[in-house]
Amino acid sequence: MNYTPEEIRKMTFAEFHACLRGFVKANSSAPESVSDADFTRDLADAFRRGER
């Protein structure tokens, strides 16, 4: 599914996490190479730092 920038801005962290994790798993040659816990931690850290 494609989201507009406005739709993404309105997402909760949990919604964005699920969307992004699904994208990573679908487009990775080794989707299980990063654990869900590591992925969640890294994404949360990036959000706190305000990275885009």
Q: What is the pLDDT of residue 31?
A: 64
- The structure tokens 């507009």 sit at 4
Give 20's contacts (C-beta < 8 A, 6+ positions apart): 43
pLDDT in tens, 1-52: 678 888 888 888 888 888 887 777 777 776 667 777 887 888 788 778 875 5
Q: What is the pLDDT of residue 28?
A: 72
Q: Is pTM beyond 0.85 here? A: no
Q: What is the pLDDT of residue 9?
A: 84
Q: What is the pLDDT of residue 41?
A: 84
3-state SS, residue 45:
helix
